[in-house]
């Protein structure tokens, strides 16, 4: 019976696995091989060991790209989490037209990175952008993003937060709604202030959802490509490159497939480290609760 | 007490106003600007009252024929990728929901781990292979790539949704002698429609908006809308912002409407996907 059901289920799970094996797993394994060889178009590859990894890790352009990526991930994701949490609590506190507001908050989810770049580029246009004009009118500093790398990074972070807030918000809001309201009633009867209720009830129970949202956003923010590529192209003078843009440049502008492949595996390794850190924390939490 | 409640109400109203501004102003601004006559787009201060005109849309039609080819390509690729991802995910999700065992559990873990690989990684080996196969710049490449990057999430989502369908239903069909594929199509699919829609929302939004793969694997024939729009930004010195806003509005409108209509399934999918996958 068991073998029969396995034989019957194999054809049904085969398409998913064939797609993943042929498009993701085998090519990624091939990238490992590329990363330890030296090759360009039309040349036979030769084995060079870890040379590509050493070259990438000691390349100042890569270090700059890695630093930029980490800054974007750390700043954008945490601000996004804080804002997402506030919005989730605002929704949970009871709002009029909640469905309409929910859809409004979700709207940026539908916007492609390309269109988001068009929007934000124009909003912050140094001459005519409505936000620039508003900042000027208020006497505040403006974002000179096409010349100042730091300003460009701020704009990229804003854009990232705008695009992904819907995701973070939904995860946190769903988790907040899953907290039984009896707990708040009990806290109220015990004389807890709203702040105490937040600290003792909401915050601990939202913990797992916060972890999930953070993990997903760390992993996905680390891959950031289109926003940077379309806004600054990594310039001026490679100062706003992120790891994925560095990878693209190495492979498709400089034909250095070996170092591009090494960069690719550094990216995969970073994702794995983040994910295993998450699993470790979850385990600790589970055993912590058991004690 | 009353002033306190009043100030809380006021604070909430302000917060909601700020939130609406943050989420909707950028979208509203480009839609509005697409309807402005050329000289008013750069008016200082920005004009919020003006006579709407479709001249930007007319110039888009006259000067960027490739944009409309892009819309057609995007439609084909989105439809293909969605059909492929949804059907593959539903089949796998059904198996995962109804069967257990070491082999199947291992393959679920495999699906989760695979999601850690960034899409840009596979472009390196696929680029020469796809060129060698003569598949560069075709719809099929994008369809397969887009579907593949969603089948792992899709299969796990479908398992979660199919778990909610009582097993007695397919057991009854089994006793009547129905084959697994028949049970899947006749019993499961109609009841799992919300899950199928949730997976479809993810794939449709992703395929319609994706830039990186389209940028690397297409050139002229299969070019999708985001790529055409990126070329409009690329020619920024001579860029006609009016045309760019019109093109952005046309690209955005259908997918925004889709997300608005499907918001329930999107929320269900995001929640289930994050907690189970």
* pLDDT, tens digit (0-9, with 9 covering 90-100), for A48-83: 888 889 888 988 999 999 999 999 999 999 999 999
The answer, for B121 touching chain A at a CB cutoff of 8 Å, is yes
Residues of B in contact with A261 (CB under 8 A): 124
Give yes or no for a contact between A49 and B148, defined as CB atoms under 8 angstroms apart. Answer: no
Check residue A291 and give its pLDDT: 45
What ranges do the domains of chain B cover?
66-240+249-276
Give yes or no for a contact between B256 and B174, defined as CB atoms under 8 angstroms apart. Answer: no
- Whether the per-residue pLDDT at A278 is higher than 80: the answer is no
Structural domains of chain A in order of their starting residue, each with its CATH number: 63-286 (1.10.3720.10)
Out of B151, B251, B266, closest to residue A20 by CB: B151
B 56-75 residues inside an 8 A Cβ radius of A? none
Q: Do A252 and B216 touch (CB under 8 A)?
A: yes
Q: Do B30 and A87 touch (CB under 8 A)?
A: no
- Whether the per-residue pLDDT at B199 is higher than 80: the answer is yes
Check residue A39 and give its pLDDT: 67
pLDDT tens readout for residues B60-98: 898 888 899 999 999 999 999 999 999 999 999 999 998
- Considering chain B, what percentage of its residues have pLDDT values greater than 90? 55
Check residue A183 and give its pLDDT: 86
Give the pTM.
Answer: 0.90
pLDDT tens readout for residues B41-50: 777 777 777 8
B66-240+249-276 adopts what CATH topology? MetI-like fold (1.10.3720)
Nearest CA-CA partner of A267 in A66, A29, A34, A39:
A66
- Whether the per-residue pLDDT at B180 is higher than 50: the answer is yes
Tokens 């899409």 sit on residue = B119
Q: Do A112 and B208 touch (CB under 8 A)?
A: yes
- Assign residue A41 a region (left: φ > 0; alpha: ψ between -120 and 50; beta: otherwise): beta
Q: Do A101 and B19 touch (CB under 8 A)?
A: yes
DSSP one-letter string for A84-129: HHHHHHHHHT--TTHHHHHHHHHGGGGS-HHHHHHHHHHHT-TTT-
The answer, for B39 touching chain A at a CB cutoff of 8 Å, is no
CB atoms within 10 A of CB A234: 23
């Amino acid at each position: 019976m068991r073998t029969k059901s396995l034989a019957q289920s194999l054809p049904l799970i085969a398409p998913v696995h064939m797609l993943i094996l042929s498009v993701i797993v085998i090519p990624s394994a091939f990238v490992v091989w590329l990363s330890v060889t030296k090759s360009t178009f039309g040349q036979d590859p030769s084995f060079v060991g870890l040379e590509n990894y050493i070259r990438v890790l000691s390349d100042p352009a890569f270090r700059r790209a890695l630093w930029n990526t980490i800054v974007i991930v750390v700043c954008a994701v945490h601000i996004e989490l804080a804002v997402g949490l506030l919005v989730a609590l605002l929704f949970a506190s009871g709002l009029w037209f909640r469905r309409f507001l929910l859809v409004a908050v979700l709207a940026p989810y539908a916007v492609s990175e390309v269109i988001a770049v068009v929007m934000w580029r124009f909003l912050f246009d140094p001459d005519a952008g409505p936000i620039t004009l508003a900042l000027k009118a208020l006497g505040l500093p403006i974002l000179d993003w096409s010349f100042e790398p730091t300003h460009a990074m701020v704009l990229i972070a804003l854009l990232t937060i705008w695009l992904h807030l819907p995701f973070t918000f939904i995860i946190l809001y769903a988790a907040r709604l899953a907290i039984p309201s009896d707990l708040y009633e009990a806290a109220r009867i015990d004389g807890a202030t709203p702040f105490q209720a937040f600290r003792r009830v909401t915050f601990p129970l939202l913990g797992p959802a916060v972890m999930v949202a953070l993990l997903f956003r760390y992993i996905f923010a680390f891959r950031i490509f289109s926003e940077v590529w379309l806004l600054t192209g990594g310039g001026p003078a490679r100062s706003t490159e992120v790891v994925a843009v560095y990878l693209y440049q190495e492979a498709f502008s400089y034909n250095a497939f070996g170092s591009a492949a090494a960069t690719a595996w550094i990216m995969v390794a970073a994702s794995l480290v983040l994910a295993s850190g998450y699993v470790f924390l979850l385990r600790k939490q589970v055993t912590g609760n058991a004690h | 007490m009353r002033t306190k409640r009043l100030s809380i109400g006021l604070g909430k109203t302000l917060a909601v106003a700020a939130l609406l501004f943050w989420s909707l102003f950028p979208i509203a601004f480009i839609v509005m600007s697409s309807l402005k006559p050329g000289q008013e787009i750069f008016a200082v201060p920005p004009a919020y009252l003006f006579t709407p005109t479709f001249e930007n849309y007319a110039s888009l039609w006259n000067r960027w024929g490739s944009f409309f080819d892009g819309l057609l390509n995007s439609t084909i690729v989105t439809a293909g990728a969605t059909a492929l991802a949804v059907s593959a995910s539903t089949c796998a999700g059904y198996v995962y929901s109804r069967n257990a065992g070491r082999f199947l559990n291992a393959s679920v873990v495999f699906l989760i781990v695979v999601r850690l690989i960034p899409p840009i990684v596979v472009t390196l080996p696929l680029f020469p292979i796809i060129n060698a196969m003569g598949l560069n710049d075709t719809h099929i490449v994008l369809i397969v790539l887009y579907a593949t990057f969603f089948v792992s999430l899709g299969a796990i989502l479908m398992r979660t949704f199919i778990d909610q369908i009582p097993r007695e239903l397919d057991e009854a069909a089994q006793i009547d002698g129905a084959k697994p594929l028949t049970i899947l199509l006749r019993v499961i699919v109609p009841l799992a429609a919300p899950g199928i829609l949730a997976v479809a929302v993810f794939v449709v939004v992703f395929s319609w908006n994706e830039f990186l793969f389209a940028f690397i694997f297409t050139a002229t024939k299969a070019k999708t809308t985001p790529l055409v729009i990126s070329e409009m930004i690329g020619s920024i010195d001579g860029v006609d912002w009016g045309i760019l806003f019109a093109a952005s509005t046309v690209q955005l409108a259908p997918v925004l409407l889709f997300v608005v209509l499907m918001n329930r399934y999107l929320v269900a999918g995001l929640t289930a996907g994050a907690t189970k996958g």
